[in-house]
Each structure stands twice: as C-alpha cells, then as structure tokens.
Amino acid sequence: MDTKLTLKLDQSHIETAKKYAARHHTSLSSLVEKYFAFLTDLEAAEGDLISPGVKRLSGVVKLKPDFNLKREKIERLSEKYG
C-alpha cells in the first residue's frame, strides 16, 4: 500500500534530484523508495561479508560439477604472468 510522505528539503537538492530522476526516466518517489530499500538492505546485511548486490548474483553462473577453482586460478595466473 502506498502512503503519502511529506519531506522538507533544501530547494537545490530537490531540483538536482528532479533532474536526475528525469534523466533516469523515474520519479522522485521511486528514487526515495529505492534509497530507503537500499538503506534497510544495507542495515540488514551489516556484519555480512557479502553485500546484498553480490548476493543477488549468486547462482547466475553455472559451473561444471568437476570445476576446479584452484587449478583455474593457477592456469589464469600462469597465462597472465608466465
């Protein structure tokens, strides 16, 4: 459910935010909502070693069952520095 929120901000910040929102084809309300979500995600993840953004990427890459990370690292570093 959407709820109306009134904020008191410096006029220059409002104008800058409006221009930013227009360039990104969004609204100020959407920017504020996304920022609040970002802050709460950040707070929830506080103490985690993996950021929420990185967690969302988890599972994107599918590796073969016999993938050997140590061997791959050695091969790539050998190619780069060998």
Q: Residue 38: which domain range?
A: 11-81
Residue 23 inside a domain? The answer is yes
Residue 41 inside a domain? The answer is yes
Enter the pTM of the model: 0.50
Residue 4 inside a domain? The answer is no
What's the structural domain count of the chain? 1
Q: Which of 2-6, 35-39, 64-68 has the lowest mean pLDDT?
A: 35-39
Output the pLDDT for position 18: 94
Name the one residue in this structure whose structure tokens are 């904020």: 7
Instruction: Pull the structure tokens for residue 4.
Output: 């109306």
Q: What is the pLDDT of residues 40-82, one digit of tens each?
A: 877 666 666 677 778 788 888 888 889 999 999 999 999 989 7
